[in-house]
Structure 1
Amino acid sequence: MTAVETGYAPPTPPGRPGPGGRRRLRWLTAATLAWAVLLAGLTWWSVRTDAPTVKEQRSLDQAGPVVDRAIGELTAAVGAAGVPALLPDRLERGCRITPMDDGATLERGVEVAIGGDDVREVLRGVADRLPSGWRAGVSTLDGEPLLRADAGEFVTVEGRAGGPGRVLLTAATGCRPMGSGYRAPSADAASESAVLAAALGRWGGASGPVQVLAAPCPGGGTARTARSEAAAPADQSLAAAFGGGVAPVVDSADAYARPGDPAVLALRAGERVRVAVTTPCPA
C-alpha cells in the first residue's frame, strides 16, 4: 500500500481527468448541446419568417403555381416540333428539410410525341423558345441530351428522351415545406373529353376515370388534357379511332400522334391503349 502524505490530494490516475478537467468537459458538453439547440431553433425560425433565399424557404403552395406556369410555357415551347400532352402531377411526401421538419416534392410533366428520333434537335428548339430569363440550354448527360432551365423560385426544368419517339419535359420543386399544400389548376375540358370519349368508344369505352389536367398559358388561356384508357386488341388500328384531319406526326401499330385543335396522342401498352386529347398553349 502506498502511503499518502497528509495534506496532499492523491495523484490522478493516468488517462482520467482531474476535478478541473471534469468540470471543463461538462461545460463543453453543455455548451455544445446549447449551440446545437440554438442553431436548430434559428433554422426553424428562419424557414418560417425570413425572405426566401433557398428552395426550402418557399412552401409547396407558393412553389406550385410556378410549376404550373412552367408547364404552360413548356407546352407553348413545343410548337410544331411534336404533339404534347400534360401528365398527372407527382406529389411525394417524406423528404427531410431539417432534422425537425419533413416536406414534399412536386413534379409536373409534358410528354411529347415526335416524328423521328432526333431528341437533341427537339430539345434545342424548346430551349430556344423558352423565356430568356430561364437560361435554358442543352448539354449531354451519360451520352444522352439533357435540357436544363431555371423557371424561377428554385423550380428546375428538365427535358430528356422519354422512350422511342418521345420527349419528356418536367418542372419540379425539390423538397419543400408543405404549407397549405398543392392545388392543381382545374379547367373545363368538355371538347377534349368529347373527342376522347368518341375514340375510346370504338374500343368499348373508357375502362377507368377520365383525368382532366390543366396549366396556365403564358399569353392567357389554359392548356388542357383529357386522359383515359381502354382495352384494345393488338390487331385494331389506332389511327382508325380518330378519323381524318391533320396529318399525323406518328402513325404506327403502337403509337398515334396528331397535332391540331385538339391534338391527340395514343400509346399502346399490351392490349390497352392510353389516350390523351390536348389543347396546348399557342406557340
Structure 2
Amino acid sequence: MTAVTEAGRRRWLIGGVTAWAVLLLGGGLWSVRSDPPTVPEQRDAGQALPVLREAAGAVVSAAQGGEWALRLGELRVEECALTPAWDGVELSREVTVYVPEGEAHAALDGIAAGLPAGYRAGMTVARGATRLSLFADAGEFVGIAAEASSADQVLRILISSGCRPGVERLDRADPASGPAPELLTGTLAALSGPGPAESGGDPADDGPSPADDGPGTMEIRAVACPDGGIAATFVAGGGAAQPDSQPVGVPEGTLPVWVEPGAWAYRIGSESVVVTTEGGRWQVSLTTGCRQ
C-alpha cells in the first residue's frame, strides 16, 4: 500500500511540474506577443527610426520659437555593443542652437516648453544655476537630452535611440525639402568677395580669388514638423576661408547671435544662417522654418 501511495505521489508531482512548465511557456509566448517592450533592446533600429525622426522635427520646431539660430545635423548610425556577445546600432541626430550671450537658460527652457506635452520635457539647474540639463522622452525609448553651462552660446541637443538590434535595410532618406532659399546663394557670394574685374585691379596682381575654388556639393538634411511642413538645413561649401574674418554678408539691420573668429550665426525671419570653416574653406548652413 505504501509503495503504491509513493508511486502515486511521484506521478502527481511529475504531472504538476509538467503542467506548471506548460503554463509558464504559454504565458511567456503570450507575453512576447502581447506585452509592450520594457527595454530598448526589444525594439530594432527600423522601429526606432520613425520615432527619432518625429522627435527631431519636434526639437527643430520648438527651437524656432525663439530668436535663436539653429542647424540640423545629419542622421548618424553607429555601431554599439548590445550585449557582450551581440553588436547593435545606435541612431542619433543633433540639433545645434546658437544663442546670444547669457541666454542659454532661456533657450533650453523655451525649447522644453515647446516640445509636445507627451514628451514630459523638463530642465534641471545645478551648481548655483551654472549647469543646465534638458531632458525629454519621445516614446519607444527615444530620448532627448542636452547639457550646457549657463555661459554657453552653442547648445547641442541630442536625440538618440540608444543601442538597438540592427536591421538589414534602414531607410535613411530624409523627406523632400524643396529648393534652397536665395539667402544661401547671397551668403556664399558675399563670402567669395568681389573678383578682380569688380575690384578694378589687375588679375595678375590679385592672385586667385576665393571664388575660383567654387562652391562644394550641397548637402540637405530635413525633418517633418509636428504641425505640418518640412524644416531643412542646406549645407554648402564656399571658397577659401579667412580664419580671423569678422561676419560677412549679414543683412543690414541683423545682429549675429554668436560670433567667433572666422565663424558666426544669425537669424532673419524664420531662416537661420551659420557660417563656419571646414578644412580651410567656408561652410554655410542655412536652416529654414517649417515650410509647406
Task: Please give the TM-score of this superposition, normalised by the length of structure 1.
Answer: 0.72
Corresponding residue for 1:76?
Answer: 61
Given that 1:83 and 1:113 are in contact with CA atoms closer than 8 Å, whether structure 2 keeps it comes out as yes
Task: Tell me if the contact between 2:40 and 2:141 (Cα under 8 Å) persists in the aligned partners.
Answer: yes
Select the structure of larger CA radius of gyration: 1
Contact residue 263 and residue 278 of structure 1 kept, 8 A: yes
Where structure 1 has 5 or more consecutive residues not aligned to the other structure, the ranges are 1-41
**Matched letter for residue 135 of structure 2:** R
Tell me, yes or no, if the aligned pair for 1:97 and 1:177 is still in contact at 8 Å.
no
What pairs up with 1:185-200 in 2 under 5 angstroms? Answer: 185-192=174-181, 194-200=182-188
Find 1:183's aligned residue among 172, 190, 202.
172
Tell me what 1:216 maps to: 224
SS in 2 for 1:212: strand
1:61 corresponds to: 46
Contact 1:267–1:275, Cα closer than 8 Å, also in 2: yes
> How far off its partner does 1:273 sit?
2.9
Residues 235 and 283 of structure 2 are in contact (CA less than 8 Å); yes or no, is this contact kept in structure 1? yes
Which residue does 2:5 correspond to in 1? none
What RMSD, in angstroms, separates the aligned Cα atoms of the two structures? 3.1
Aligned residues with identical type, % of pairs: 32
What is the letter of the counterpart of residue 173 of structure 2?
A
CA offset at residue 50 of structure 1?
Answer: 6.3
SS in 1 for 2:88: strand
2:100 to 115, 130, 136: 115
Determine the structure 2 residue equivalent to 1:132: 117
1:160-179 matched pairs, under 5 angstroms: 160-161=147-148, 164-179=152-167
Which residue of the partner structure matches residue 11 of structure 2? none
Q: Is the 8 A contact 2:100 2:153 kept in 1?
A: yes
CA distance in 1, matches of 2:279, 2:220: 24
CA distance in 2, matches of 1:128, 1:94: 32
How many aligned positions are there?
A: 237
The aligned residue for residue 35 of structure 1 is none
Query: 1:155 — aligned with what?
Result: 142
**1:114-162 deviations in whole A, cap 9, x for unaligned?**
0113322221121122122211111247862110110111001012339
Q: What are structure 2's unaligned runs of at least 5 residues?
A: 1-27, 193-209
Change (3 A) 1:206 1:65: farther
| TM-score, scaled relative to structure 2 | 0.70
Distance 2:134 2:117 in 1: 14
Alignment check: 8 A CA contact 2:245 2:262 kept:
no
